[in-house]
Chain A
């Protein structure tokens, strides 16, 4: 019975990790790849470690496995958010079919400022006032 449970959990975990790897290849965009690695891989690792905990059936090992799973559950969203923020700020393009970009025009690249109102538009207007009006068509 225990062996069947261990086999089922480890097979599910391995399949989820394989799906994460396929998603990493197939996704068109760095941001979608981040979403794949933080969700599918976390679930796969959790199931594999749970299979190990069921196999050994020892209190100290179960505690260790729970600590690893809790640590991964805590750190995967944080690292995903950090690397996504960095990739947006370093100018990685969104996929061409992406529906919305909430940070559009709100990040000034030269000064690395992030504001809640549109900063780019205000600057464009001031630039156009400084130059002659013909350059507006550029």
Chain B
């Protein structure tokens, strides 16, 4: 089993299943805070996807996208928490 097969048949399915589980929480989540947490975790899992995919395709330029996604995840969470707190005033 080559490394590409390992990534393609084991790593990416595991990540896909975890994204599906997180989407279940995103849809169901009782409060808006749960949805924000689930969105943050989806983006974090996306960074993992990009890491695995850059190994799979042997193209390291994808890692730049991972850095931008990490930035967006942090900014999104901060903005959501700021506006949820403002909304309750």
- Give the B-binding residues of A (Cβ under 8 A): 3, 6-7, 10-11, 13-15, 17-18, 20-22, 24-25, 30, 33-34, 37, 41-42, 44-45, 48-49, 51-52, 55-56, 58, 61, 64-65, 67-68, 71-72, 75, 78-79, 82-83, 85-87, 89-92, 112
In the complex, A25 Cα to B38 Cα: how many Å?
Answer: 10
Is A25 touching B63 in the complex (CB atoms < 8 A)?
A: no
Is B18 touching A7 in the complex (CB atoms < 8 A)?
A: no
Pairs of residues from A and B, 8 with the lowest C-beta to C-beta distance, nearest first: A21-B18, A87-B33, A79-B77, A21-B21, A86-B81, A75-B74, A14-B14, A48-B51
Which of B17, B47, B64 meets A18, CB within 8 Å? B17
Residues of B contacting A22 in the complex (Cβ-Cβ under 8 angstroms)? 18, 21
Mostly, the B contact residues are helix
